[in-house]
């Protein structure tokens, strides 16, 4: 079975500062910040960006795209260990298991997500 993290409340997928700090401490995820240009990361191999409170979401943000985070083994372990404490300010993260052979996509409405098997459609 494949584990995938989704958000189950209005708002959106996001991690808490506690989750980011757990990943740094327990999984060695490095933190970086933007250079003065506001676009370039100081450490391009880091997985976490220090953004301060200015974004209104917490001190940190993930470098990886959200879709990659959803199946990241380190993050799945973090959510399993921290449970509700892993969820960001506008999130309620949940791990869903699906069969390994299923091609999947996440559907979302106002931040509330569900996983669907990929199928064909035309408009």
Residue 118: both structure tokens together: 């990929």
Distances (CA, A) of 73 to 19, 23, 27, 36, 108: 14, 11, 10, 33, 22
User: How much is the average pLDDT of 48-54?
Assistant: 86
Residue 55 has pLDDT above 90, yes or no: no
pLDDT tens-digit profile of 56-104?
Answer: 778 999 999 989 999 999 999 999 999 999 999 999 999 999 999 999 9
Question: How many Å from the N-terminal Cα to the C-terminal Cα in the chain?
Answer: 32
User: How much is the average pLDDT of 39-44?
Assistant: 94
* Domain spans, the chain: 2-117
CA distance linking residue 94 with residue 97, whole number of Å: 10
Rounded to two decimals, the pTM is 0.91
Residue 28 has pLDDT above 80, yes or no: yes
Helices in the chain by DSSP H: which ranges?
17-27, 66-69, 73-82
């Amino acid at each position: 079975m494949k584990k995938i993290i989704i958000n189950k409340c209005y708002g959106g997928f996001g991690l808490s500062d506690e989750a980011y700090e757990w990943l740094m401490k327990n999984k060695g995820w490095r933190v970086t910040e933007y250079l003065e240009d506001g676009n370039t990361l100081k450490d391009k191999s880091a997985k976490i960006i220090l953004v301060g409170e200015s974004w209104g979401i917490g001190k940190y943000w993930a470098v990886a795209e959200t879709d990659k985070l959803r199946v990241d083994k380190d993050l799945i372990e973090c959510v399993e260990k921290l449970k509700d404490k892993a969820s960001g300010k506008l999130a309620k993260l949940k791990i869903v298991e699906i069969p390994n052979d299923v091609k999947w996509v996440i559907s979302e409405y106002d931040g509330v997500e569900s996983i669907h098997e990929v199928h064909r459609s035309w408009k």
